[in-house]
Structures are given as structure tokens and as C-alpha cells.
Amino acid sequence: MTPVSEITAADASRLIGELTAIVARAASVIMANPPSKVSRRVKPDGSSVTSADEASETVILEALARLLPGVTTVSEEAAARAAPGALGASFVLVDPLDGTREFLAGRDEFAVNLAIISNNIPIAGIIAAPARGLLWRGVAGIGAERLRLEAGATTGKPEAIRTRAWPTQAAVATVSRSHLDAATEAFLAKLAPAKRELCGSSIKFCKIAQGEADIYPRLSPTSEWDIAAGQAVLAAAGGSVTMPDGGPLAYGRAAAGFRVPAFMAWGDPAKAASFKV
């Protein structure tokens, strides 16, 4: 492929099959490195990284260099080692193993995240849940899908997914298993009644995208690679992700360490527009 500086939604739609295959291979590599056998170390920020994270990242970065020459990739582990270069109009955000804590605990809630960002907005995203055998993907203006994931490849016919309207009762809020903070707790109390569902990683976005949950509030900082793919999948399925005040999230904030101060993910944008934090 000729080097490019900007990737459109139409480009992403054409690339989605190859990008899906890359993420599926990375998922397979993680499954070949079980928690009982991986090496691990603690990063300067206190979080853990394992040889499974690094093996997944290697697969993704090498494949993206071939598929998208000239397009910068920002990956969690690589960014921790060195600052990325100029991002350009489009770049790729990667979390090679989102939910390392859940992975090490033997839970099935870890994921692989890949998103294409153009003009500061996620226009395409892919999320694989290796231990659940599922993969979700979405492209802006095209739609979102769920696929089966087995042995490093997707299987079966893709299933279109959509968010649901805000229910009149029994709304479901997906919340972080490891990072539930006081501000989010206060918001959930204000939102009540809503059933809480604890979950790790970007799978929370996918549950909203496929109409099984309604909101994912996070009122504490996180990183762009943790949520970009989730935002893309959710938006393609009919939902929205915004700042708590309703404003848009902007991606590519290298000077801020690619940190996001807070966000709200909604399945029903109409509810989001009518609710103030």
C-alpha cells in the first residue's frame, strides 16, 4: 500500500477484514501465553505488563507496518518505552492486552483493542475477547458487528449489532471492576435505579453496543488506547461517547500523555442529551 496521511471511513471499511485478521492473530498469541507461564514486571505507573502483552504488541505492530506504511501507530507498551513521532491526520491506537489485571487473575474479561483515528475521532475499531471467543468491530457510517473467534481466526457469519433505547426500568450500567472511583459512584447513585455490572477492559463498550447494557460512566482518568476502539464500535452501533459535560472527546493528545480525564458511554444518545452529570 502507498503511504498515506489520512484514512477515511471508506478506507477503513476496505481494510476492516485485514485489520480483523491482525487482531485475531494477536488474540491467539495471548491465549498461547497463559497467566501461569508469562513473565511479568511492574511499569513506572504501577501497572503490570506481561510477556503476553508484549507478544501481542509485536504481532500487531509488525503487521500494521506492512499494511499501513507511513501511518503512525501508538501502542500502550511502545508509548511507555518512547514517545511516538508525529501522528499525522490519521493514526492507529492499540492496546495489545487491555485488562492485564483481569488476565493475570484468570478472568475472561481481557481484550485486544485497535482503533483508527482520523482528525481526532475514532472512525473504526476492533475489540477481541480471546477467552470469550468473541470479536466486535465497527466503522463510522457503516455499522457494527459481532463475530465468533476461534484459534486465531474469525468464524461464521458476522452478526450485526445495535444499541437499545434507554429502558423504562432496569437500565444496566457497566462499571470498571478495578477502577471504580468515588465520583463514578456518586453519578451512579444519581442515575438510580440502574443495575451495576462489573467488568474489566473494553468489553464494557461491547455490551452496550450489542444492546445488553445502557451506560458506562468513567469519571476518573484513563488512556486513549483503552477506549478508542470501544468508542468506534459503540458509535457504529448507534451509541455515543462524550465528555461528562456532553462535549466531544479529542484523541491524539500526545502532550497530555494520551490521557482522557473522564468520559460517558451511552447506548441511547437521546438519553445522553437529556441527562446532566
One digit per residue, the tens of pLDDT, for the chain of length 277 reads: 444 568 999 999 999 999 999 999 999 999 999 999 999 888 777 788 999 999 999 999 999 999 999 999 999 988 866 567 679 899 999 999 999 999 999 999 999 999 999 999 999 999 999 999 999 999 999 999 999 999 899 999 999 999 999 998 889 999 988 777 888 888 888 887 789 999 989 999 999 999 999 999 999 999 999 999 999 999 999 999 999 999 999 999 999 999 999 999 999 999 988 876 6
Structure pTM?
0.94
DSSP-derived secondary structure for 194-210:
EEEEEE-TTHHHHHHHT
Helix (H, G, I), strand (E, B) or coil at 175: strand
Report the C-alpha gap between 25 and 56 in whole angstroms: 8
Question: Residue 258: left if φ>0, alpha if ψ -120 to 50, beta else—which one?
Answer: left
Report the C-alpha gap between 148 and 61 in whole angstroms: 23
Report the C-alpha gap between 103 and 108 in whole angstroms: 7
The architecture of the domain spanning 171-274 is 3-Layer(aba) Sandwich (3.40)
Residue spans of the domains in the chain: they are 9-161, 171-274
Q: In DSSP terms, which residues pair with 260 in a beta bridge? A: 222
Which CATH code, of 3.40.630.30, 3.50.50.60, 3.40.50.970, 3.30.540.10, is assigned to 9-161? 3.30.540.10
Report the C-alpha gap between 112 and 114 in whole angstroms: 7
Q: In DSSP terms, which residues pair with 161 in a beta bridge? A: 144
